[in-house]
Amino acid sequence: MKRREFLATGAAAAASLTAAGVAAADGHADDEKPAKPGGAFKLKYAPHQGHFKHHAGDDVLDQIQFAADQGFSAWEDNGMPRKDPKLQEAIGKKLRDNGMTMGVFVSRADFGSDKFVTDTSKGYRDSLREAMKKNIEVAKRCGAKWTTVVPGKISNRIEMDYQTANCIENLKVVAEVFEPAGLVAVLEPLNWWANHPGLFLTKIPQAYLICKGVGSPSVKILNDLYHQQITEGNLIPNINNAWDETPYFQVGDSPGRKEPWTGEINYRNVFKHLHKKGYTGVVGMEHGISQGGKEGEQKLIDAYRKADDF
């Protein structure tokens, strides 16, 4: 090799190594690490019914078993109250048999009404009390400790601070019902811009203030990082600032609300942060899948393997 060619080749190789070193230092090269197969995950990621239907079939119990065999240690089912009570019990047993944790189901999410932030009458509070009692029975059957509550629409007729005060008062009723049963209502702030325009609860600091106002172990925060990436970003600082009121997380990449590595959120860093802080709760996989069929389901599993590799 001629001296000039040797020098050019050497310079190119050095530049390549330098670029690789810079990429590794700022985390970009790390994003290309292959997923590690098999074994239990570090965090309790919770699939939903339908995530593994192409591998396991339509039976939810078979889907739970498949998830357990893949290393998942939690499950989530927003629509649990609509299931037959016998199926709720069967799901609870299947989870116990596999050492899995039941995540949230939805107790209240009336997106069409502003009553939760405008009505503190005895009649409304009595109806709220009765509705929450029914959810205790659902939780007992399936083994749930947390249940999602969305306060509903914002009102354009009264000041925001009055709405916040009304929300706190109605959540005290929820707490009154849930506390003796050990059930926790987790408030989920939702984004206006992509999914739920016009709702009252949108931000983590807002939910944090409300929880402090209620002052109950049975009213806490569900931090859905998909929604919060759209609404306010600043994910890890908000996780830290609201830590003492946040027993539950949900995820989905943004934009698109699909599995990790399909959008802009670095979920490996987020999961590493949760793990480092000692989080032992559920991480609900409340999102879709970017690809169909068995290939898409395997891509979903691989995405969590990759994000869990820290």
Q: Is residue 131 part of a domain?
A: yes
User: How far apart are the C-alpha atoms of 41 and 49, rounded to whole Å?
Assistant: 19
Taking a C-beta distance cutoff of 8 angstroms, is the pair 146, 186 a contact?
A: yes
Q: Residue 36's pLDDT is what?
A: 53
Q: Do the domain assignments include residue 85?
A: yes
d(CA 225, CA 267): 10
Confidence check: pLDDT of 77 > 50: yes
Is 20 among the domain residues?
Answer: no
H helix or E strand, kind and range, residue 41? none
**CA-CA-CA-CA torsion for 309, 264, 101, 138, nearest 10 degrees?**
-170
Question: 175-223: per-residue pLDDT in tens?
Answer: 999 999 999 999 999 999 999 999 999 999 999 999 999 999 999 999 9
Rounded to the nearest integer, the mean pLDDT of the chain is 91
Q: Summarize the confidence of residues 142-165 as an average pLDDT.
A: 98
Q: Which residue range forms the structural domain that includes residue 76? A: 41-307
Looking at residue 199, the DSSP 8-state letter turns out to be B
Q: How far apart are CA 277 and CA 109, in angstroms?
A: 30
Residue 35 lies in a domain: no
Cis peptide before 255 (omega within 30 of 0): yes
Percent of the chain with pLDDT over 70: 88
Average pLDDT over residues 273-279: 98
Q: What is the pTM of this model?
A: 0.89
232: pLDDT confidence band, cut at 50, 70 and 90?
very high
Question: Which pLDDT score, from 0 to 100, does residue 6 have?
Answer: 37
Residue 24 lies in a domain: no
**165 is a domain residue:** yes
Domain count for the chain: 1
Contact 81, 56 (CB under 8 A): no
Sign of the C-alpha dihedral computed for residues 59, 62, 66 and 68 taken in this order = positive
Tell me whether residue 18 is in a domain.
no
Burial 13-31 (b: 16+ CB within 10 A, else e): eeeeeeeeeeeeeeeeeee
Give the other-Cβ count within 10 Å of 142's Cβ: 24
Whether residue 279 is predicted with pLDDT greater than 80 in this model: the reply is yes
**CATH at residue 218:** 3.20.20.150
Q: Would you say residue 19 lies in a domain?
A: no
pLDDT bin (cut points 50, 70, 90) of residue 69 is: very high
Crossing angle of helices 122-142/85-97, nearest 10°?
A: 50
Rounded CA-CA distance 283/104 in Å is: 10
